[in-house]
Amino acid sequence: MIAISTTELRKNLRKYLNLANTERVIVQCGNTETYEIVPAKNISDTDKYFSDPKVIEAIEKGRADAKAGRVTRIKDISDPWASIL
């Protein structure tokens, strides 16, 4: 994986488009947004995972739980199970 800025992408667009065929290319836009360059041949309109209504429902439930504060915070990253169990 390689991470680049939008400035670097503009300077070497062809290079990173070609590189995206063999490696993940992440573009950092400012401090808050990131994008990934994905060749069209790798995109599927019939993604079985994200087309499944049960998966979408579970994702939306998780987002609602997080927004409502129903989360588990890991206090010590070296022992995450202590916060979970």
Across the range 32-59, mean pLDDT stands at: 83
H or E stretch including 35?
strand 33-37
What is the set of domains in the chain, with CATH numbers? 2-41 (3.40.1620)
pLDDT digits (tens, 9 = 90+) for 30-45: 888 999 998 888 776 6
Per-residue pLDDT at 45: 66
Q: Is residue 83 a contact partner of residue 75, using CB atoms and an 8 Å limit? A: yes
Single-letter residue type at 22: T
